[in-house]
Amino acid sequence: MPPRKAKARFATSGIKRIMQADDEVGRVSQAALIIVSRVVEEFVKDAVGTAAANVQAEQGHTVHPGHIKQVVAATSEFDFLQPTVAKYPDPPLPGDDKKKKKRAGKRAHAEAKQE
């Protein structure tokens, strides 16, 4: 039975480019790229999973960048991401994503002008 080919969820070419941006890194094996891809996948699952759990606890439905910012602030393992998430706004208050903005049609717009 031939060996099973490992699958990477993230583009190995992008990971290779990032790794080789460091002058000390020369060649990178395909196996190393796949392992890094899997590590990135687990990292993202952890961060987004925590953010999604926080949103559900607040009875929300949408994960916003601010929710990821909250996770980074609350988790010491993610301290290195503080400068990256600092530029994003804080998460909306609970219930804000439930509000839908109504678009004014031509009739509503014309009626507003007459009054």
Residues 71 and 47 sit within 8 Å (Cβ to Cβ): yes
pLDDT band per the 50, 70, 90 thresholds, residue 115: low
52, pLDDT greater than 90: yes
The angle subtended at Cα 37 by Cα 34 and Cα 43, nearest 5°, is 145
Query: String of b and e for 89-112 (b: at least 16 CB within 10 Å)?
Result: eebeeeeebeeeeeeeeeeeeeee
CA distances from 71 to 10, 33, 54, 84, 111 (A): 22, 27, 9, 13, 46
Entry pTM: 0.65
110, pLDDT greater than 80: no
Q: What is the mean pLDDT of residues 38-46?
A: 92
Tokens encoding 25: 């890194």
Residues 48 and 72 sit within 8 Å (Cβ to Cβ): no
pLDDT of residue 87: 92
pLDDT of residue 95: 59
